[in-house]
Amino acid sequence: MKYIDVKNASLALEEVYRTMEVLMKKEIDELERRSRRYLKILKLVSLGINTWTGLKNYFYSSGDKISDSRLYELLQSLTEMTFIEKREGKYKIVDPVLEEVLRRSL
């Protein structure tokens, strides 16, 4: 569905998110296969838990005793894969469509 066909921006945007969710699912599944924590970090960052301390505290409070070095490695890998970037001490999902898909579906 395209905006030109339906003349409704929110319906057209919703269709884009649904399509991108399907396309991104394979990539997200591959990340999760490598480490379930990758997906958890992406989801948390998309929801605004986007600082080192916030992420560390979330893992710790959920019973996942992640070491500082392991959290660092995961964040570095996600940065190198260009899923996230760090600006002014906060992590952000680089792709706004992926960010919305993460917020909605995972």
Residue 106: which pLDDT band, with cuts at 50, 70 and 90?
low
Residue count (the chain): 106
Number of domains within the chain: 1
Domain region containing 18: 3-105
What pLDDT sits at residue 47? 95
Q: Could you tell me the pTM of the whole model?
A: 0.81
DSSP bridge partners of 80:
none
Which residue carries 């898909």 as its tokens?
A: 101
49 pLDDT higher than 70:
yes
What pLDDT sits at residue 17? 75
Q: What is the mean pLDDT of residues 8-28?
A: 79
For 66, phi and psi rounded to 5 degrees?
Answer: -70, 135
DSSP 13: H
Separation of alpha carbons 44 and 105, rounded Å: 13
| Average pLDDT score over the chain | 88
* CATH code of the domain covering residue 34: 1.10.10.10
Q: What is the mean pLDDT of residues 34-57?
A: 96
Which residue carries 């929801």 as its tokens?
A: 47
What pLDDT sits at residue 4? 58
C-beta of residue 92 within 8 angstroms of C-beta of residue 45: yes
